[in-house]
Amino acid sequence: MTARRRQVEFRPFPARRRLLTAAMRVGRAMVPMHGLVQADVTTARRWLHEQRPRVSFSGYVVACVARAAATHPEVHAYRDWRGRVVLPQHVDVAVLIEKALGDGPVPVAHLVRDADVREVTDISSDIRDVQAGRSPSSAGAMFDRAMIVARIPGAVPLVMRVMRRSVRMHEWSGSVAVSSIGMFAGGGGYGIGAPTMLTLNVMVGGLSERPQVVDGKIEVRTMVDLTITVDHTVVDGAPAARFGAALRSLLESADLLPGISDS
């Protein structure tokens, strides 16, 4: 074997990454309860592929998660500084969009406001515009201000602890998070995400073709793997299970897609 020089490369740790790691450290306070869910999205995927311009699958999942959370608000409740349980009467969904910035590719948070009452096509356009740089992330201004704090030693963990129980801060950060790893791994599979300060997290895994029993017959269907994570200190198992059932029903029925429910 030819001898080579062994060396390492040093890069500065991005300030934005400090914010993310601080948020995950705050998330250690939660007691995560995970649920692994499979959903048949054959009908929805067929409709999405036929649309021009394209409608993203991520936008469809965000819409379904938001509608299910609106029906079961206890799954994205949180506690304030007085120990009260706060149940939002709206659903703002935080999504992570990978963008190339000056300090390298980082996941940028974008808040899809009022996702429980918006159309799938509207949510999809919102996410695609941020991905393409045609519109700024709704959380961008907050992150820009937080970048100043990120440079002060010890300040970021304190800010994140305040955000976790602040009603005002949840207006900026949302109470539901949807992350997608399917496009990176390829094929089926689940992902267990790091805990965050949000009560409800849905990790969208891969899509795959699998045999399923439909009306007593075996058919090849398109399945998606989902990991639902809730904070067990706030949410009990029964409400979480009802939310999971509602989410699966919405994904499989495709009732949120125009023309599906009427056909």
Q: Are 81 and 165 in contact (CB under 8 A)?
A: yes
Q: Which helix (H) or strand (E) holds 123?
A: helix 120-132
Give me the percent of the chain exceeding a pLDDT of 70. 81
pLDDT in the model for residue 139: 60
pLDDT in the model for residue 91: 96
Strands (E), 160-238: 176-180, 200-214, 217-231
pLDDT in the model for residue 105: 60
Quote the CA–CA distance of 131 and 154 in Å, as a whole number.
32
Domain ranges of the chain: 15-253
Least confident of 94-108, 189-203, 237-251: 94-108
Q: Going by C-beta distance under 8 Å and a sequence separation of 6 or more, which residues neighbour residue 32? A: 195, 229, 230, 231, 232
pLDDT of residue 143 exceeding 80: no
Which fold is adopted by the domain 15-253? Chloramphenicol Acetyltransferase (3.30.559)
Q: What is the DSSP string of 74-101?
A: GGG-EE-TTSPEE--SS--EEEEEEEEE
- Cβ atoms within 10 Å, residue 103: 13
The more confident residue out of 151 and 192 is: 192
pLDDT of residue 185 exceeding 90: no
Count how many residues are written for the chain: 263
pLDDT of residue 227 exceeding 60: yes
Buried b (16+ CB within 10 A) or exposed e, 112-133: beebbebebbebbbbbbebbee
Q: Which helix (H) or strand (E) holds 112?
A: strand 104-112
pLDDT class of 254 with cuts at 50, 70, 90: very high
Average pLDDT of the residues of the chain: 84
pLDDT of residue 165 exceeding 70: yes
Rounded mean pLDDT of 159-167? 73
Ranges 23-32, 75-84, 127-136, 154-163, most confident: 75-84
Quote the CA–CA distance of 65 and 207 in Å, as a whole number.
17
Quote the CA–CA distance of 13 and 249 in Å, as a whole number.
43
pLDDT of residue 142 exceeding 90: no
pLDDT in the model for residue 175: 86
Q: How far is CA 128 from CA 16, 97, 226, in A?
A: 22, 9, 22
- Cβ atoms within 10 Å, residue 94: 23
